[in-house]
Amino acid sequence: MLKNKVLIKIWWSLIAPKNRENYLDKIYLKEISDFIRKNILDVFLIHWAGNIWHNFLKKLIVETGFSLKDVLKLYAEKIKYHIQYWYSIIDSYFFDLNRVYIKKVLTGEIKSFSWKITWWDIDWDNFLIISGDDAFSYLASLKNKFDLKLILTDVDWVLDTQGNVIRKIDKNNIKNIKFWSVNNDLTWGMRWKVMKLLWKWPIYILNGYNFKNLELFFKEPDKAIFTQIC
């Protein structure tokens, strides 16, 4: 069953596996792009490639001894070239999506969300990072723009102490959930990522590797494995 107006964030470890520097999983990019074309009529896609971004930026900071902001100022052209190179590879798989600058979305300059794609970005006017988390949180908060909001990760998501998926996270139970920590997360800790998404009406988190479960979610969602944030 094809779905209209879907907002998707692809977790970075799906397309750029951890501990593999400057590597994109092109097999997965082909699989997920084909899945989206097959099952979704209209999509706004946010993707991430953490191993590429983190390693590149960290090396510049270590080599120069400069702050993040100074590195962005002094190495702007080098960073832009680096970003554009990886954009071009990802865009070759999502060739039917129009890449947009997320700052223009956040400021209201871009009003149509049909068949668009974006990454984390840099506000080059102020030399600040615009994270994919911020972009997703903002778009998820817009009323009547998306019929479905999905986050695809590399696991079956939040588990209880018996190893079962926690089906729902809300303001009442989030305080009792023990989230894992990510040492190299440059934006938010995992708990704060989820708390930022509460009250955004509902968001579904699924294992992006499990295509059988993804197909089940689109056809018979009550039978699929997911965590719902509401």
Query: What are the tens digits of pLDDT across the range 129-167?
Result: 887 777 888 888 888 889 999 989 887 666 666 666 677
Phi, psi of 205 (to 5 degrees): -110, 125
Distance of alpha carbon 16 from alpha carbon 19, whole angstroms: 9
Distance of alpha carbon 194 from alpha carbon 219, whole angstroms: 26
Query: What are the tens digits of pLDDT across the range 35-76?
Result: 999 999 899 999 876 666 777 788 888 899 999 899 999 999
Domain of 16 in residue numbering reads as 6-229
The answer to whether position 1 is within a domain reads no
Q: What share of the chain is helix, strand, coil (3-state, %, to 5)?
A: 40, 15, 40
For residue 35, the model assigns a pLDDT of 94
For residue 204, the domain's CATH number is: 3.40.1160.10
The answer to whether position 35 is within a domain reads yes
pLDDT, greater one: 177 or 95 = 95
Residue 187, pLDDT above cutoff 50: no
The answer to whether position 191 is within a domain reads yes
Mean pLDDT comparison of 68-72, 117-121, 197-201, highest-scoring range: 68-72
- State the total domains in the chain: 1
The answer to whether position 168 is within a domain reads yes
For residue 186, the model assigns a pLDDT of 40
The answer to whether position 53 is within a domain reads yes
